[in-house]
């Protein structure tokens, strides 16, 4: 599949590898990383080296032999996936700004922090016993159920996924603002977890 190049401004903003994974799987930014610790690339799982730029800014780099096979070198989808994962992870931990979902018709909903228990990457989802679709990021609730599937696209699908929790978003838009997920899918409904629970009506 041909993938468009990542714009230089997003390279400058997020780096080639926006974060590394610690030996316990924690998301670590280059500025928080310890040069004595090993880190793994979140995309290709290759070992990372912590380097310093000319301006003494730390950044992660692949080992020379591992560099070519990693999608973070060329795919705006791969970069947007990890930028969004970082932002959602921060939000789940009570740091950073909320992430909003904007439906195809325009309504916006903040993702409630307490509803998400886990984020899974690259889930193959089968609908209607037929096709499998790739969910780049799936948000799971405390029971391990997927409550939102996020598919990053360079271009909108010709045939949208007819599923109410399938959020299709443009990778360029995520790179420009990862706090707003604008749905390209007219078949997506407001997922139940985006609506605040209705108050129980008291009869007395």
Cβ pair 145, 163 in contact under 8 A: no
Pick from 6, 19, 43, 182: which binds Zn ion (CB under 5 A)?
A: 43
Q: Does 70 help bind Zn ion (rule: CB under 5 A)?
A: yes
Q: Is 188 helix (H, G, I), strand (E, B) or coil?
A: coil
Q: What is the DSSP string of 64-100?
A: GGGSTT-GGGT-HHHHHHHHHHHHHHHHHTT-S---E
Q: Which residues pair with 138 in a beta bridge?
A: 120, 149
Least distance (Å) between residue 174 CB and Zn ion? 19
Q: Does 44 help bind Zn ion (rule: CB under 5 A)?
A: yes
Residue number, 62 or 149, with CB nearest to Zn ion: 62
Q: Does 41 help bind Zn ion (rule: CB under 5 A)?
A: yes
* Residue 172 parent element (H or E): helix 171-176
Least distance (Å) between residue 192 CB and Zn ion? 36
Q: Does 103 help bind Zn ion (rule: CB under 5 A)?
A: no
Least distance (Å) between residue 60 CB and Zn ion? 9
**Binding residues vs Zn ion (CB under 5 A):** 41, 43-44, 46, 70
């Amino acid at each position: 599949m041909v993938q468009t190049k990542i714009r230089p401004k997003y390279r400058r903003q997020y780096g080639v590898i926006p974060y590394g994974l610690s030996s316990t799987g924690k998301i670590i930014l280059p500025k928080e990383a310890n040069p004595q610790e090993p880190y793994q690339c979140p995309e290709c799982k290759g070992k990372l080296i912590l380097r310093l730029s000319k301006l003494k800014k730390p950044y992660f780099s692949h080992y020379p032999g591992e560099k070519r096979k990693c999608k973070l070198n060329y795919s705006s989808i791969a970069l947007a996936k990890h930028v969004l994962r970082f932002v959602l992870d921060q939000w789940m931990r009570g740091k950073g700004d909320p992430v909003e979902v904007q439906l195809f018709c325009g309504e916006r909903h903040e993702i409630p922090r307490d509803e998400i228990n886990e984020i899974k990457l690259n889930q193959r989802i089968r609908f209607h016993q037929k096709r499998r679709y790739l969910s780049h990021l799936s948000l799971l609730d405390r029971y391990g159920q997927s409550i939102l599937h996020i598919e990053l696209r360079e271009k909108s699908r010709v045939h949208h996924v007819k599923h109410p929790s399938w959020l299709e978003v443009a990778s360029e838009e995520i790179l420009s603002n990862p706090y707003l997920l604008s749905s390209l899918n007219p078949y997506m409904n407001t997922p139940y977890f985006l609506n605040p629970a209705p108050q129980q009506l008291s009869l007395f």
